[in-house]
Each structure stands twice: as C-alpha cells, then as structure tokens.
Amino acid sequence: MLVGLLGLQGAFLDHIPHLKRCGVDAVIVRDIDAMEAIDRLIIPGGESTVMAKFLDEFGMRAPLLRRIDDGMPVWGVCAGAILLAEQVDDGHSGSLGVLPVAVRRNAYGRQIASDTQLIDIPVLGLRAYPGIFIRAPRIESLAEGVKVHALRGKDPVFVQHAHIMATTFHPELNRDDWFHRFFLDIESFRNTP
C-alpha cells in the first residue's frame, strides 16, 4: 500500500516514522502524478490558508477531490481537518469541503495556548491519551452520520465520515502508531457505483 503525505506545507515529515513502523510505503505528494499513484492520503497539520492556496496554484485541488469522490481514504490533521470541512468560520467553505462538519479556526487560542489534553478514545481502547493541540480548530457542529471517536470536553476532536477521517490534534507528534493503524484500516468508499 502506498500512502501519500500532502507535502505542500506543514508537518508532513512527522508521519514517516509511523508509516514505516506500520510497514507501508510513504510518498510525499506535491503534484498530480503523485496524487494519482497513491492509495490513501494524509493531509498534515500546518497552515490551512497556505495549503489551500498551494492546492489551487498547483492545480491539485480538483484531482484530489476526484480521488476522494472515488473513495480514496483521507485523513486530515488539524489544518488538514480544516481543508476537509464543509464549513469554516461561519459560512466559508473549506478548500475541499468533503467532511460535513463546521469548524472554527484557532478556537482554543493561538500558538501560546497550544496544549496537551488527556482524551479517551474508545474505538482504539485508549484512556487518557495525550492529544497535542496546536492552534487547533474546534468542530462546532456535524451532520448526522459523522462518527465521533473522541471528545475534548464536549467538542469532537476525532471524527470519521465513511472514508474521511479528521483529528483536530496531532497524533503524529506522539510515539505510538494507533491513529496511523486505524487510518490504514479504513475502507475505500465510493459514493456512486
């Protein structure tokens, strides 16, 4: 299996050791050809506005949307979750807009307010997992059918809708591979036959 790391900006390199330990190949995706070759994609944390701009400038947004429509599993981390969201900051649509949630950027405070929160993740059998939040978005609402795998207080922080997964925190900064393994097990899901 070939896992793509969207490598336009942000913290994509931190995923490589995890994927190696999971025994899959990873490739950094910076153009359309690489986008066509992968089996699934991680959209890393970083700066969503910059990543959105590069996706457009490099002509990668439409090909990526096509792959997601065709059922390619995708995981958005923090800024990646913002790109996937249908709604960002009151009414704007996310660059990809394929995950039916509404998010508010930087809702837990700016860089200085980044923190580690202990969260329970029943789907992984984990209690008090240290979730690292860095200028994270808050998921403010979600459509029916979006599964909530973990909460920070009342806020969903790990969600899944069919083959689309999002975490508003950064599991790649921890040394375990729980989230990567979970993502690698997500099945491809095609909307139309």
22 an active-site residue? Answer: no
Residues 65-84 touching ligand GLN, rule: CB under 6 A, are 78-79, 82
Nearer to ligand GLN, 135 or 163 (CB): 135
Q: State the catalytic residue, choosing from 78, 149, 161, 180.
A: 78
Residue 2 or 113: the one with the smaller Cβ distance to ligand GLN is 113
Counting contacts by CB under 6 A, is residue 45 touching ligand GLN?
A: yes
Contacts of 12 (CB under 8 A, 6+ apart): 5, 6, 28, 42, 44, 46
Residue 92 has what DSSP assignment? B
Considering the rule CB under 6 A, would residue 135 count as an interface residue with ligand GLN? yes
Which residue in the set 106, 116, 117, 174 belongs to the binding site for ligand GLN (CB under 6 A)? 106
d(CA 126, CA 108): 23
User: Which of 6, 8, 26, 48 is close enough to bind ligand GLN by CB under 6 A?
Assistant: 48
Q: What are the phi and psi torsion angles at 34 (to 5°)?
A: -65, -40
Piece of the chain touching ligand GLN by CB under 6 A; list 46-54, 117-125, 154-162, 179-187: 46-54
Which residue, among 112, 82, 98, 105, has the nearest Cα to 143 in the 3D structure? 98
Q: How many residues bind ligand GLN (CB under 6 A)?
A: 11
Q: Is 54 helix (H, G, I), strand (E, B) or coil?
A: helix
Q: Does 174 bind ligand GLN (CB under 6 A)?
A: no
Distance in Å, CB of 109 to ligand GLN, minimum: 10
Name the 3-class secondary structure at 182.
Answer: helix
Nearer residue to ligand GLN within complex by CB, 32 or 114: 114
Run of H or E residues at 184: helix 178-185
Question: Catalytic site residue 170?
Answer: yes
Catalytic residues: 78, 170, 172
